[in-house]
Amino acid sequence: MVENILSAFALLLDPIVFVAAIGGLVAGIMVGALPGLTATMAVAVLSPFTFFMDTMVGLPFLLGTYKGAIYGGSIPAILINTPGTAAAAATAADGNAMARAGKARLALQISLVASIIADLLATLVLIAVAAPLAAIAIRFGAPEFALLYVIALTLIAAVSGEDTIKGLIAATIGIAISLIGLDPMSGYQRFTFGSVQLVAGISLVPLLIGMFAISEIIVNAEESISGRRKGDAIDPNQGPRLTLARLKRLMPTILRSTGIGTGLGSLPGLGAEISCWISWGVAKRRSKNPEQFGRGSEEGVAAAEAGNNAVCPAALIPMLVFGIPGDTVTAVLLGAFMAQGLMPGPLLFTRDPVILYALFAFLLVSNVLLLMLGFAAIRYLQRIIQIPNGLLYPVVTVFCFAGAYAVNNNIYDIVVMMAGGIAGYVMRKISMPIPPLIIGLLLAPGLERSLRQSLVMSNGSLDIFVTRPGALTLVVLFAGFIAFLVWRTVRPYTQSTVTGETTS
């Protein structure tokens, strides 16, 4: 093993590897930063070109693109409240509030550093315990997934803001939208009204661009027309920087989110889009200042970004150990590995250890590269916020249209985006929170699929959720968690009743 690692590092010394990696990272950051262009798309478009490259040029290039794109999504989320990728949607809430308060640089720096720490730790987990972790993850059957989705749905309470009822309504709308399309089990068409376009369902990314970006643009236009627009943004160079003391305060949040992201990433099917919200919701519950979440909390940015970036290396675990991709990006990467003659699966670790360890070492080194690229980029990026809105938003609008179209090369997705934009605007006006809708949309298909699979397995009996050790553990944990929440909510009332009696 030691000599494998040494020869692996020797492979990394070739400067071409670094050229390819930096090229991939830069391409990835740009793709991630443009709304609508996703990591999956970037890796899918670029991967055929790597078929002809050397293994240690092609794969670092693709892995760099993947990492860059997941990080890049947070940049427009912070600067213009428009998540570049679905995984950065949770970052927009706090990141943009910070930018509006003149702390754009600090928000960008927290996002970068949290991303890198999470990625680094998750990569170490991948290297050290990929095989045992994958062995646990693969025992997760449909009943465990169904329970996991139910637990994740409790997040709606955390992201609903003040008005839980409005949050629940929004979540229900999201769930209803997710039902459109083909039934995942039987293949019957649901709510398609005979339209071929609706058979594929409502695409997430165009809807997300509409809900967040287009509605933001409409709100801005309205404010500038009615003259309610606030003054120009504060010069970001005057704003605070990320200091070691600040970072130290954020470390518990980053570590917790890394754990969540790594755990979810190693389970096939739960991607960065869900992990960012779960990390954000958990951080809010554990925070001393939960009321700041959604209004510019530094912890919120750190939690969301650590949560989505930890998924990246973790998603490679099931792909490398079993040859089973956890999400669409790793599915494309799997193809690129195979085209290089590296067959991911149980035999990869014994058959090609040197290349594998070289790729692991590369994953660690690429974080250093991303850190340097990121800090260099932030110096210029923070100025975007000083561009007058009259110039900035038309350009963003063009990118939104191009991005929504590029997802599936489909004009219909632009209709989805516009509808999402109008809906998002209305929701802002009646102060109905948008995140619960997105979470409902993200979680409902997985919950439906795993619940129905479980019931097919058990022949319709609910016993399956308590007779399997994994599922039973989750049920007990969930019940304990709900009991704790109830106790914490009820306790202040009982105490105040007692004190009320003594004073009267």
Partner 1 sequence: MRHLVLRLAAAARTAVIAFAAAGALAGAAAAQADDFPNKPIRFVTPYPPGGSHSLHAGIITTAAERHFGQPLISVIRDGGGGVVGTTEVAQSEPDGYTLLFGDPTINSLRPQVENLPFTTDSFVPVARINYAPAIFVVRSDGPFKTMDEMIAWAKEHPGELIYSSDNKNGWTYTVFELLKARTGANMRGVEFGGGGPAVSQLLGGNTMAYAGDISVVGEHIQSGSLIPLCVTDHQSMEALPDVPACPDIGYDVVFQFWRGVLAPAGTPKEIVAKLSDSFEKLMADEGFQRLIRTINSTIAFADHEEFARLWAKEIEDMKLIAQQTAK
Task: Give the binding site for partner 1 (CB under 8 A).
Answer: 15-16, 19-20, 40, 44, 47-49, 51-54, 57, 138-142, 181-182, 184-187, 196-197, 199-201, 268-269, 318, 322-325, 328, 330-335, 338-341, 343, 345-347, 408-410, 449, 453, 456-457, 459
Nearest distance, CB of residue 12 and partner 1, angstroms: 16
The HSE-up count of residue 405 (CA atoms within 13 Å, CB side) is 7
Nearest distance, CB of residue 270 and partner 1, angstroms: 12
Nearest distance, CB of residue 335 and partner 1, angstroms: 4
Nearest distance, CB of residue 463 and partner 1, angstroms: 14
Nearest distance, CB of residue 405 and partner 1, angstroms: 11
Residue 181's φ and ψ, nearest 5 degrees, are: 120, -155
- The residue (of 151 and 457) whose beta carbon lies closer to partner 1 is 457
What three-state secondary structure class fits 26?
helix
- The residue (of 200 and 472) whose beta carbon lies closer to partner 1 is 200
- The residue (of 10 and 251) whose beta carbon lies closer to partner 1 is 10
Cα–Cα distances (Å) from 151 to 53, 254, 479, 497, in that order, read: 44, 21, 10, 32
**Which residue matches tokens 């991967």?**
47
Nearest distance, CB of residue 144 and partner 1, angstroms: 9
Nearest distance, CB of residue 46 and partner 1, angstroms: 8
Q: Are 75 and 84 in contact (CB under 8 A)?
A: yes
182: which DSSP letter? E
Nearest distance, CB of residue 188 and partner 1, angstroms: 9
- The residue (of 19 and 251) whose beta carbon lies closer to partner 1 is 19
Q: Are 83 and 73 in contact (CB under 8 A)?
A: yes
- The residue (of 57 and 441) whose beta carbon lies closer to partner 1 is 57
Gap between the Cα atoms of 367 and 441, Å rounded: 32
Nearest distance, CB of residue 206 and partner 1, angstroms: 13
- The residue (of 106 and 319) whose beta carbon lies closer to partner 1 is 319
What three-state secondary structure class fits 190?
strand
According to DSSP, the residues that pair with 494 across neighbouring strands are: none
The b-or-e profile of 224-241 (16+ CB within 10 A means b, else e) is: eeeeeeeeebbebeebee
- The residue (of 140 and 401) whose beta carbon lies closer to partner 1 is 140
CA dihedral of residues 323, 325, 331, 336 (deg, nearest 10): -30
385: which DSSP letter? G
First vs last C-alpha separation in the chain: 74
Sequence-ordered list of residues with C-beta below 8 angstroms from that of 403, at least 6 positions apart, any chain: 34, 35, 36, 37, 205, 209
Nearest distance, CB of residue 107 and partner 1, angstroms: 32
Whose CA is closest to 424, among 102, 75, 173, 182?
173
- The residue (of 252 and 445) whose beta carbon lies closer to partner 1 is 445
Gap between the Cα atoms of 16 and 115, Å rounded: 25
- The residue (of 240 and 323) whose beta carbon lies closer to partner 1 is 323
- The residue (of 418 and 455) whose beta carbon lies closer to partner 1 is 455
- The residue (of 94 and 144) whose beta carbon lies closer to partner 1 is 144
Nearest distance, CB of residue 151 and partner 1, angstroms: 19
The b-or-e profile of 139-149 (16+ CB within 10 A means b, else e) is: ebbbbbbbbbb
Sequence-ordered list of residues with C-beta below 8 angstroms from that of 257, at least 6 positions apart, any chain: 114, 118, 279, 282, 283, 302, 303, 304, 306, 307, 310
Whose CA is closest to 325, among 44, 31, 21, 34?
44
The count of other CB atoms within 10 Å of the CB of residue 160 is: 21
Nearest distance, CB of residue 274 and partner 1, angstroms: 16
- The residue (of 334 and 378) whose beta carbon lies closer to partner 1 is 334
> Alpha helix (H) ranges present in 34-154?
39-50, 55-72, 74-80, 89-100, 104-137, 142-153
Gap between the Cα atoms of 201 and 196, Å rounded: 10
In residues, how long is the chain? 504
What three-state secondary structure class fits 189?
strand
- The residue (of 341 and 500) whose beta carbon lies closer to partner 1 is 341
Nearest distance, CB of residue 152 and partner 1, angstroms: 18
